[in-house]
Structure 1
Amino acid sequence: MSESSRSEPVGVILAVDPDRFAEVVEAARRAGLTVTGEQQILGTLSGTIAEDRIPALEAVAGVESVDRDRTIHLPPPDSPIQ
């Protein structure tokens, strides 16, 4: 795959089977995930992956959901709209 055809990395948060956490993390890495955080007790991990690799990540056994990371901007406390 050429560099021009690769999609940009996006942040994702995964819900995974907590009983298979380590196994799922390794399989997600093989699918292309760059892990940035592991929360084993919660059964979640976060990372970045090329947008076009998300379907491969969703297909990993033990991955229950894949959500794109989102940033929410709130207005300042003294803003008229709350």
Structure 2
Amino acid sequence: MGRTARSGPVGVILSVDPDRFAQVVEAARRVGLTVTGEQPILGSLSGTIAEDRIPVLEAVDGVESVDRERIVRLPPPDAPLQ
């Protein structure tokens, strides 16, 4: 109960039904997704959405999965081994 809900935008990657790609993207936008990339042939898209809206996004008909975007940082090639 002492935990505060975070609602700032987070990056997400969605897998969606490729046969209904355009309709699913539009429905995702209606629930608050800001689309940043579309890969219709693969049935995936990326975007940002308020964290507290992720459950609503997951419930959109045609959305198969919603994963948080992850950033991987590598050291420069000439950096010593860690």
The TM-score range, normalised by the shorter chain, is 0.7 to 0.9
Residue aligning to 1:33:
33
Cα deviation code 1:21-74 (max 9, x no counterpart): 011001101111011111101111111100000000000111111111111001
TM-score for both structures, normalised by structure 1:
0.87
* Number of equivalenced pairs: 78
Structure 1, unmatched stretches of 5+, are: none
Residue aligning to 2:64:
64
Conserved 8 A contact 1:75-1:81: no
TM-score for both structures, normalised by structure 2:
0.87
- TM superposition outliers: structure 1 runs of 4+ over 4 Å: none
How many percent of aligned residue pairs carry the same amino acid? Answer: 81
* Alignment RMSD (CA, Å): 1.6
Q: Give, in whole Å, the separation in 1 of the partners of 2:6 and 2:68.
A: 18
